[in-house]
Amino acid sequence: EDILNQVRQEHELTDISFKTWLLPLRVHAVMNNTVVIVVPLENAALSYINNKYSLPLKVAIAEITGFEYEIEFILEKNIEKSEPKSHIVPTINQNIEKANLNPRYTFDTFVVGGNNSFAHAASLAVAESPGEVYNPLFLYGGVGLGKTHLMHSIAHFVLNQKPETKVLYVTSEFFTNELIEAIRNGNNTAMSKFREKYRSIDVLLIDDVQFIIGKESTQEEFFHTFNDLHGAKKQIILSSDKPPKDMETLEARLRSRFEWGLIADISSPDYETRMAILRKKEELDGYNIDDEVIKYIANNIKSNIRELEGALNKLIACAKLEKKEINLDLAEKALQDIISPDAPKEITPQLIISTVAEHYNISSTDLSSTKRNAEIVLPRQVAMYLCREMTSTPLKAIGGYLGKKDHTTVIHGADKISNEIKTNEALSNVIDIIKKKINPN
């Protein structure tokens, strides 16, 4: 119905044409990437429809399903009544299953933020023209930051564009185990089957390749697979917890292969991105949670998106079990073992600088610069003082953070503040407040 209406609107069909030509059409089957449409009319009608509507239908089907299909028309009288009907969804799902993909990990559900925008752009470019732009694409970053999600997104995208593409996602553990199995069987057939399988792939995604390294036989076989695929312009996408240059037991020749294409990192999400991810997840799961609760989670869980999602899941589960509404009280209670407010935050010069800057409403960059405007000089001395009092950072390093080349300026600035607060109560108060902001406990 949607597809037909789309054609009707797009081509401004009259009621009469619509009812005569389009309304009677039915999808008979979807096979491979072809939609078979039944025309319950005469031969002449079939050729008219074929000439006039096959392109508009093709376009509308692509727009509505997100997949490009070929179209084939058949006459009603030519179909066997007993032929099984299938519809669009299963065909797609089969591909996704074959490629080992999680249906939720798509570009649509991936939130782009400062921490991952480069990796995201690179992934999208590769997904749009596999084998043609960056090969291999090497994604790296810490645990739970979205590497696997991005890899699956690429695979989904490729399959949506061209369902016949051979896409395979494997963990490197799986790859290794399969290889070891083939080697253990000790015969050539097992080995050549293994090779055949991997070398027939158009887009190969291997997750967490850090596990391949250190195993000589897998590196060897992986090297050959890589060369074959790369030579045939097949796309390779790899992920790891660190960049190739830091993978110590990686053979030099593999390292250089990994560095052939593009290396993109994903880092920890900032506050805005954490908020956006929580909002997205909430939306996908069909909840509507108070802003203060979302902010509470985003404020307290910082390093890892998996934990961020885990916290939200736990809260939702708690609310269901206890039949309570989701609010800040419940969040604090449900998440107390994940978020421990007592855990001391590490006090670093960076933390001090950003807190001081925020307090005086100036930018951290100005505070760390060599600028000497009146409105920056005092806050900078405060920062020097606090860095000296609250951290064990060497004075020279403190100077480095605050745009000063030597430690004498730091001593001078810090001394000035410590003398001044003996008599200046207002400043002493300010210092206390900033100290509490830095260290609430």
Interaction site with ligand ADP (CB under 6 A): 105, 109-111, 116, 141, 143-149, 277, 280, 305-306, 309
* 3-state secondary structure at position 30: strand
For residues 148 and 393, which CB has a smaller minimum distance to Mg ion in the complex? 148
CB of 297 to ligand ADP, least distance (A): 14
For residues 195 and 306, which CB has a smaller minimum distance to ligand ADP in the complex? 306
CB neighbour class for 164 (10 Å; exposed up to 12, middle 13-18, buried from 19): exposed
Residue 110's binding partner, choosing from Mg ion, ligand ADP, none, with beta-carbon cut-off 5 to 8 A by kind? ligand ADP
- Distance CA(237)–CA(258), nearest Å, equals 10
- Close Cβ partners of 146 (under 8 Å, ≥ 6 residues apart): 110, 116, 119, 266, 305
CB neighbour class for 435 (10 Å; exposed up to 12, middle 13-18, buried from 19): middle
CB of 139 to ligand ADP, least distance (A): 8
CB of 115 to ligand ADP, least distance (A): 8
CB of 241 to ligand ADP, least distance (A): 8
Residue 218's binding partner, choosing from Mg ion, ligand ADP, none, with beta-carbon cut-off 5 to 8 A by kind? none
**What's the start-to-end Cα distance of the chain, in Å?**
62
Contact between 240 and Mg ion per CB under 5 A: no
CB of 146 to Mg ion, least distance (A): 8
With CB atoms as reference, the residue minimizing the distance to ligand ADP is: 146
34 is in an annotated binding site: no
- Distance CA(204)–CA(211), nearest Å, equals 17
- Close Cβ partners of 431 (under 8 Å, ≥ 6 residues apart): 382, 385, 386, 417, 421
148 is in an annotated binding site: yes
Residue 146's binding partner, choosing from Mg ion, ligand ADP, none, with beta-carbon cut-off 5 to 8 A by kind? ligand ADP
Residue 136's binding partner, choosing from Mg ion, ligand ADP, none, with beta-carbon cut-off 5 to 8 A by kind? none
E strand or H helix that includes residue 240 = strand 235-240
For residues 148 and 368, which CB has a smaller minimum distance to ligand ADP in the complex? 148
For residues 241 and 259, which CB has a smaller minimum distance to ligand ADP in the complex? 241
Count, residues in the chain: 441
CB of 112 to Mg ion, least distance (A): 18
231 is in an annotated binding site: no
Q: At what angle do helices 88-98 and 147-161 cross, to 10 degrees?
A: 130
Residue 102's binding partner, choosing from Mg ion, ligand ADP, none, with beta-carbon cut-off 5 to 8 A by kind? none
Region of 32-40, 128-136, 148-156, 344-352 interacting with Mg ion (CB under 5 A): 148-156
Q: Beta strands 34-39 and 70-75: pairing type?
A: parallel
- Distance CA(341)–CA(335), nearest Å, equals 10
- Distance CA(312)–CA(294), nearest Å, equals 8
Binds Mg ion (CB under 5 A): choice among 95, 123, 135, 148 = 148
For residues 144 and 400, which CB has a smaller minimum distance to ligand ADP in the complex? 144
CB of 111 to ligand ADP, least distance (A): 4
For residues 135 and 153, which CB has a smaller minimum distance to ligand ADP in the complex? 153
Q: What is the DSSP string of 158-178?
A: HHHH-TTS-EEEEEHHHHHHH
The two tokens of residue 296 are 């509470």
261 is in an annotated binding site: no
Contact assessment for residue 384 and residue 410, using Cβ atoms and an 8 Å cutoff: yes
Q: Annotated binding residues for ATP, as ranges?
A: 144, 146-148
Task: Return binding residues.
Answer: 144, 146-148
Chain residues that interact with Mg ion, rule: CB under 5 A: 147-148
